[in-house]
Amino acid sequence: MMKKLRAIGTSFLFMGIYLSFQLIYLTVVSFMFGIKYGGLEQEIFTENLDRMLSTNTLLAIIFSAFFSILLYYRLCNNRKKNFIECCTFERISLKDICISALGGFTFLFINGYIVGLIRYLGILTNYMDSFQEFSNSIYSANIALLIISVGVVGPIIEEIIFRGLIFNELKANMPTRTVVIVQAVLFGIFHMRAIQMIYATLLGLFLGVVFVKTKTILAPIILHITYNITSVMVSNYGSDTIFGQYFNYIVVLSFIIVAVILLYLFKNKSNSIKDELIL
């Protein structure tokens, strides 16, 4: 039991390192902003502060990812472990690249449907308003910066943390089935806001299964990048495109595609890990 608790504690440490770098960056930037613009009228100050935070939240992702990877690399070395092996960076086939990309693209619409269902049922209303405000703030930033930070850098560092370091830390002390669930729950907690926790946990389960079955972190990285970039593009342009006009049909098709992907993974991907994942 102590080993399991220690593994979970180490998992929170990995999460905390990345979040701490984000906090440090945003604290310094906010302090400098206050010094420079503190004399402005309250309304103008607040407007500029919102704009500053929107952009710098994205820059914080890039800053935190860079310094977190350096620290993770050092921690692995101190524990006499290879960082590349700790994160399971292995080769990936062209077929798995395509499956991962398709999985990321379609799973976004499933999660979009779930968020829409929560809104329709009128549950978590207060959290929904907060989530919508946060999303609008983030997606109003420069599209190129969004793609780089949220679309590429964010997924890479999050996969290194969750399907890399945390997964392998937990795997040494728990059955694989349990690890898939625990890392998904931690992934949900990591996103903090209630609505995000729900769909991030579901995404974490899918990413965990893909990781176990493909045996390389590159698969969930590709899936996650595709998911996030699709989210950025749909959020900025989706309502005026086929995605907005035929959303319900796309959701049904997405459920079918994800089901086929899971069936393929469980049927055709042998698993060398002792504890098999069982549907």
Mean pLDDT by 10 residues, the chain (279 residues): 91 98 94 79 71 88 98 94 94 97 97 91 84 83 94 98 97 95 97 92 98 97 98 80 77 97 88 46
> Does a structural domain hold residue 279?
no
28 domain residue, yes or no: yes
Question: What is the distance between the alpha carbons of residues 17 and 10, in angstroms, rounded to a whole number?
Answer: 11
**What are 154-209's pLDDT values in tens digits?**
999 999 999 999 999 999 999 999 999 999 999 999 998 899 999 999 999 999 99
Domain contains 253: yes
Alpha carbon distance 188, 190 (integer Å): 5
The answer to whether residue 160 is domain-embedded is yes
CB crowding 78-96: b at 16 or more within 10 Å, else e: eeeeebeebbbbeebeeeb
Structure tokens at 225: 């990048």
User: Which amino acid appears at position 43 of this protein?
Assistant: E
Is 273 a member of any domain?
Answer: no
Within a domain: residue 74? Answer: yes
Instruction: Look up the domain containing 251 and give its range.
Output: 2-268
Chain centre distance of CA 158: 6
Count of domains forming the chain: 1
Does residue 277 lie within any of the structural domains? no
Mean pLDDT (the chain) is 90
* 144 inside domain: yes
